[in-house]
A and B are shown apart, each in its own frame.
Chain A
């Protein structure tokens, strides 16, 4: 009987008396937090689409950071309203939450923690171009559980944060305003590589999309049946990466023909990918 009374006392001291809990205040905190997050999610991307492109990424990056800060502040404000926080109660709550998460919401908890880690490590930010598994695209939004990518084919792919524990995340620009585009050319080996390399260099430095403050390079290597040229350059706006690559491909093929070279005819067994 004494043990039962002890448990009741513990329970009553763990949670504040219902009469003392201000549910109105809790609702207000939740509502204000929700409005702040919704406003941020609406306002910052809208601002980002209208300000000079060099400021765009900064604004987009702020969205998940502000949301995390708002959630943490709201959580810190609500907990003392409901619970009687002492060191002993803290361990009781933490234990209970750990058990609940461990059994019922393991995957969700993993994604949430991974989301915080990704935010702190800056693995990806809104506006970055990332590759996760086979999916490559621009990060549209970074949520608590997942990110949304818009691929080059205009598909939206939702990827949970917990992928960062098991997979390499390739970030093409890492917060920068531009990224390197690599355009491949496979040529039949019988040609003058000096001429072709110079021709491809000229193709890149005369592209309308080129950010000429960044370096341009041509890398040459031999494969079993072709000479492989990689033309590496940066567009001034990374959203133009496909147009830039297409421009380099079209004009590159013309320049290669003029340099007396021709494309390789790959045997069926050779996989260039």
Chain B
């Protein structure tokens, strides 16, 4: 990380997505037009089902899921010695399955306010007022767990906002960008909480340095990452590879989205050779491949293109409503989904979206996969559904 410029925490309105490489933008337009007008479907969609177990294990072994340490150190700086009037609202991008704010708060010894269980959010019982008394910084992570989009589901978050207004201790509130957009409009959260702040986007150089550091820090095997198109080592040299510019653009500068996309773009040699054989067969032309001499001490991973998942054809409106509901709540069980979306909560769309790689199931909770987030965001935006700032 030493070579990359240190990022910072910035006002949410100043958040800007990393620039796309020009060639990538042109390719993206071509792909969009091809899909829209030629009804073309991707022949390959890279999901866990399509990768063999061995390959995924190998990748996981070589690159452990990151904790986003750079962001945690920024939080430490931001929340150093807060006074009583300290009140900050930190907006984080969605699909944060690791819970960066909770992890940081627990590690730093700050008190964390637990959200009520989802069962009581929509029950007919009057909400219990949260207790915010105490000393030191109070961290309220994941505001999205304090409400459910149901006609009885907004009372807890309203009570919480009232208590925050009266609270005389430092408070750090965080929620994802989609939840924030929703709450700011329907319960006027923006009138109670201060102007939101956010982590600066990871640009291409920062992503490269971070991913390079992650792959070399666990110390088991040395890994080199070769571009499947030209065989170049994309981590070598000072210049940032176009691969990382593409990754920064596609991931919208969100580190955990970038990491998932990165992980999914990696192949072991056998896998790549198999795919090349298929490609050559389909195109009828032999494909130029560069065989690299592999050193037994160095593992080689090939970096491939990452096709976006496709929304089930003919079910776009229902799928988008479902994905939107998941984004503003972070995650929902099937039963909660039926409460939030009475018409489609119990339909088969959920299964189709899981199969297509948009949703994952974790502890009986459905949530949008980080790797599918860019596709989900652009789909929702195109449909005119209000989107989160990040």
Q: Which residues of A approach B to under 8 Å, CB–CB?
A: 50-54, 177-178, 199, 202-203, 205-206, 208-209, 211-213, 236-237, 240, 243, 247, 250-251, 254-255, 258
Cβ-based interface call for B124 (8 A)? yes
B368 to chain A, nearest CB (A): 16
B325 at the interface (CB under 8 A from A): yes
Q: How would residues 94 to 138 of chain B score, 1 for a CB under 8 Å from any chain A CB and 0 otherwise?
A: 000000000000000000000000000000100000000000000
> A206, B153: Cβ atoms under 8 Å?
yes
Whole-angstrom distance between the Cβ of A242 and the nearest chain B Cβ: 12
Asked whether A212 lies within 8 Å of B386 as measured between CB atoms, the reply is yes
Q: Would you call B152 an interface residue if the criterion is a C-beta within 8 Å of the partner chain's C-beta atoms?
A: yes
Q: How far is the CA of A77 from the CA of B169 in the complex (A)?
A: 79
In the complex, which of the residues B187, B341, B342, B384 contacts A236, with contact meaning CB atoms closer than 8 Å? B384
A247 touches B186 (CB 8 A): no
State whether A208 touches B341 (Cβ < 8 A).
yes
Give the contacting residue for B382; candidates A53, A213, A251; CB below 8 A. A53
Given A53-B383, A237-B317; A247-B342 close (CB under 8 Å): yes
Q: Are B151 and A206 neighbours in the complex by a CB distance under 8 Å? A: yes
Q: Do B382 and A52 have beta carbons less than 8 Å apart?
A: yes
Residue numbers in A under 8 Å from B124 (CB-CB): 258
Taken together as a complex, chains A and B put the C-alpha atoms of A27 and B341 apart, in Å, by: 58
B17 at the interface (CB under 8 A from A): no
Residues of A within 8 A of B341 (CB): 208
Chain A residues whose CB sits within 8 angstroms of the CB of B340 once the complex forms: 206, 208
Q: Is B383 within 8 A of A251, CB to CB?
A: no
Q: How far is the CB of A232 from chain B (nearest CB, A)?
A: 15
| Pick from A51, A199, A209: contact of B151, CB under 8 Å | A199
Question: A237 touches which one: B324, B381, B384 (CB < 8 A)?
Answer: B384
Complex alpha-carbon distance, A53 and B321, angstroms:
15
| B272 contacts the other chain (CB 8 A) | no
Please name all residues of chain A whose beta carbon is closer than 8 Å to the beta carbon of B187 when the two chains form the complex. Answer: 205
- 4 further A-B contacts with Cβ under 8 Å, apart from A53-B384, A237-B317, are A208-B325, A211-B386, A237-B383, A247-B343
What are 11 residue pairs bridging A and B, where the CB atoms are less than 8 Å apart in the complex? A50-B36, A52-B382, A53-B384, A202-B152, A205-B186, A206-B150, A206-B154, A206-B340, A208-B325, A213-B185, A213-B386
Please list the 3 inter-chain residue pairs (A to B) with the smallest Cβ-Cβ separation, ordered nearest first: A52-B382, A205-B186, A212-B185
Q: What is the bound-complex CA distance between A177 and B383, given in angstroms?
A: 11
Whether, in the assembled complex, B385 has its beta carbon less than 8 Å from a beta carbon of chain A, the answer is yes
Q: Is B29's beta carbon under 8 Å from chain A?
A: no
**Residues of chain A within 8 A of B151, CB atoms compared:** 199, 202-203, 206, 251, 254-255
Contacts of B383 in A (CB 8 A): 52-53, 236-237
Residues of B within 8 A of A243 (CB): 343
CA distance A236 to B325 in the complex (A): 14
Across the interface, name the chain B residue whose C-beta is closest to A238: B384
Tell me if B149 is interfacial: C-beta within 8 Å of chain A. Answer: yes
In the complex the two chains form, is B149's CB within 8 Å of A206's CB? yes
- A212 neighbours in B (Cβ, 8 Å): 182, 185-186, 386
Contact of B154 with A202 in the complex, beta carbons under 8 Å: yes
Which positions 250-278 of chain B face chain A at CB distance < 8 Å?
none
CA distance A240 to B341 in the complex (A): 14
A51 to B33, CA, bound (A): 10
CA distance in complex: A199, B150 (Å) = 11
* Alpha-carbon gap, A243 to B217, bound state (A): 53
A50-B37 in contact given A206-B154, A208-B340, A247-B343 (Cβ < 8 Å): yes
Q: How far is the CA of A250 from the CA of B339 in the complex (A)?
A: 13
Q: Which residues of A contact B182 (CB under 8 A)?
A: 212
CB contact between B384 and one of A50, A54, A247 (< 8 Å): that residue: A54
CB neighbours (8 Å) of A54 from chain B are 384
Given the interface pairs A54-B384, A237-B383, the reply to whether A208 lies near B154 with Cβ below 8 Å is: no
Nearest opposing residue in chain A for B153, CB measure: A206
How far in angstroms is the closest Cβ of chain B from A178? 8
Q: Closest approach, in angstroms, between the C-beta of A214 and any C-beta of chain B? A: 9
Complex Cα distance, B387 from A211, in Å, reads 11
Complex CA gap A209/B317 in Å reads 10
Known: A52-B381, A203-B151. A208 touches B386 (CB 8 A): no
Q: Which residue of B lies closest to A177 (CB)?
A: B384
- Report the Cα distance A203→B154, complex, angstroms: 11
Whether A208 contacts B321 in the complex (CB less than 8 A), given A52-B381, A258-B124, comes out as: yes
Is A208 within 8 A of B324, CB to CB? yes
B contact residues around A209 at 8 Å (CB): 321
Cα–Cα distance between A225 and B150 once the two chains are bound (Å): 31
By a CB distance below 8 angstroms, the chain B residues around A203 are 151
